[in-house]
């Protein structure tokens, strides 16, 4: 039952990221539901659950978007760091999630911009990168109050 529920969350997440999130684009910035959800699962879920979800979410995102599976690598790296160090970061789970979104989003966007820059061989528009770093992080922080309670309910139901 738990696996089916998580698979359903993953399918809904990928549909939300590819179909719904672009409709809420603001100044060219689209919310990153996958990144926020991986962070929430890594904070709330069991270690193996957070890592497995990050692998599947990354693979799903790479399959429905451009990229050479670097979303998978980045999401697994982020999830691994979170599940390994969340005990040392003794904090309220909600505050920890919001702090990790605020910390991980700019890094994720920066690495994404660098990967695109290196792979395309074109110039990097710093104005767009800075806008993505700041506005994208704020946008994703606004997702935390929406995603956290919903995912907490889904994760805690089967415990």
| Diameter of the chain measured on Cα atoms | 49
Q: Is the pLDDT of residue 130 over 60?
A: yes
Q: Is the pLDDT of residue 158 over 70?
A: no
Phi-psi region of 6 (alpha: psi -120 to 50; beta: other; left: phi over 0): alpha
When mean pLDDT is compared over 63-67, 89-93, 114-118, 140-144, the highest value belongs to: 140-144
Alpha-carbon distances, residue 51 vs 42, 45, 81, 125, 135 (angstroms): 7, 9, 10, 33, 27
Q: Is the pLDDT of residue 6 over 90?
A: no
Task: Indicate if the alpha-carbon torsion angle 39, 44, 50, 54 is positive or negative.
Answer: negative
Q: Is pLDDT larger for residue 125 or for residue 36?
A: 36
pLDDT level of residue 41 (50, 70, 90 thresholds): very high
Residue 26 φ/ψ, nearest 5 degrees: -130, 120
Q: Is pLDDT larger for residue 68 or for residue 80?
A: 80
Q: Is the pLDDT of residue 122 over 80?
A: no
Q: Please give the Cα distance from 141 to 43 (Å, whole number).
A: 15
Pull the structure tokens for residue 28: 């060219």
**DSSP result, 70-115:** HHHHHHHHHHHHHHHHTTTT-S-HHHHHHHHHHHHHHHHHHHHHHH
When mean pLDDT is compared over 14-28, 94-108, 115-129, the highest value belongs to: 94-108
> Which residues sit opposite 10 in a β-bridge?
none
Tally of CA atoms within 13 A in the half-sphere of 118 that contains its CB: 8
């Amino acid at each position: 039952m738990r696996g089916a529920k998580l698979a359903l969350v993953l399918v809904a997440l990928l549909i939300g990221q590819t179909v719904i999130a672009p409709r809420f684009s603001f100044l060219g910035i689209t919310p990153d539901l996958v990144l926020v959800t991986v962070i929430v699962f890594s904070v709330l879920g069991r270690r193996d659950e957070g890592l497995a979800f990050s692998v599947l979410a990354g693979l799903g995102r790479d399959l429905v978007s451009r990229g050479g599976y670097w979303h998978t690598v980045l999401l697994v790296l982020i999830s691994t760091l979170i599940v390994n160090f969340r005990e040392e970061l003794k904090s309220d789970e909600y505050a920890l999630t919001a702090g990790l979104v605020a910390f991980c989003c700019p890094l994720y966007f920066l690495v994404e911009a660098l990967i695109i820059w290196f792979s395309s061989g074109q110039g990097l528009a710093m104005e767009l990168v800075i806008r993505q770093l700041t506005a994208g992080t704020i946008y994703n922080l606004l997702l935390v109050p929406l995603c956290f309670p919903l995912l907490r309910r889904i994760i805690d139901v089967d415990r």
